[in-house]
Homo-oligomer: A and B are copies of this chain.
Amino acid sequence: MLSRGVPRIVDADQRRRELAEAVWRVIRRDGVPGASVRTVAREAGTSMGALRHWFATQDELLHFAMTLVMERARARAEAVAASGGPLVPRLLRVLEETLPLDDERRAETEVWLALTARALVDPRLAELRDRSAAELHGFCTQVVQVLVAEGAARAELDVGLEGERLYAVLDGLAVHAVTRPSALPPDRAREVLAAHLAALRDTP
């Protein structure tokens, strides 16, 4: 029943990803309001009809574009987490994956910021954002927990509160790095994050 007959070049999910990446390019160039059906279709080198074949509505398109951002960041983070090396520096590198330290992550963060703002008035996007935010927040708390268990952070720390603080540092750095790249270049952002983790260890 699969692939009954078509100019099937790639599988469906792959095609949707390609189109969603065209959405990113448009959003980066012209912002979310510039991501009209026509503009995205032109950017993707296809037609309105084809685009609407894959995404019935504009909301669905934006929704999928945001899902993809989150999914990719997550995949990158998990790859780093599964890599070798000592645990503590590895956790630092996992956290760094959420920062806009290179062009690819910069693009993702810009799209994330634009869609986060839009989520203030779009319930469907808000639900997505909440899920990913809860996930990252939970991960930050876990990191603090692990650091304490590893002796890389003071034992008397309030884990919940420190998780919240780490999460704030992370997103704060992300916003600043993406909005004022010259004031907070990648190396500086990395340095601040590392200093924050170090401060959890050095101590009374």
Q: Which of A40-48, A109-117, A143-151 forms part of the interface with chain B?
A: A109-117
Q: Which residues of A approach B to under 8 Å, CB–CB?
A: 28-34, 110, 113-114, 116-122, 129-130, 133-134, 137, 158, 161, 164-165, 167-173, 175-176, 178-180, 183-184, 188, 191-192, 195-196, 199, 202-204
For A168, A179, A183, the residue with the greatest tally of chain B CB atoms inside 10 Å of its CB is A168
For the complex formed, measure the closest distance between the CB of A112 and the CB atoms of chain B, giving whole angstroms. 10
Rounded to whole angstroms, the CA-CA distance of A137 and B33 in the bound complex is: 29
Copy number in this complex? Answer: 2
Q: Which residue of B lies closest to A201 (CB)?
A: B204
Chain A contact residues, majority secondary structure: helix
Provide 20 A-B residue pairs closer than 8 Å at the C-beta atoms, listed in order of the A residue.
A31-B117, A31-B120, A32-B33, A34-B121, A113-B117, A113-B120, A116-B117, A120-B178, A130-B180, A133-B180, A134-B183, A137-B183, A161-B195, A165-B192, A165-B195, A167-B172, A168-B168, A171-B171, A172-B173, A204-B204
In the complex, are the beta carbons of B195 and A158 less than 8 A apart? yes
In the complex, are the beta carbons of B171 and A175 less than 8 A apart? yes
Indicate whether A192 sits within 8 Å of B164 (C-beta atoms), given known contacts A120-B31, A121-B31, A137-B183.
yes
For the complex formed, measure the closest distance between the CB of A107 and the CB atoms of chain B, giving whole angstroms. 11
Partner of A176, one of B29, B117, B168, B192: B168
Q: Which residue of B lies closest to A165 (CB)?
A: B192
For A167, A188, A191, the residue with the greatest tally of chain B CB atoms inside 10 Å of its CB is A167
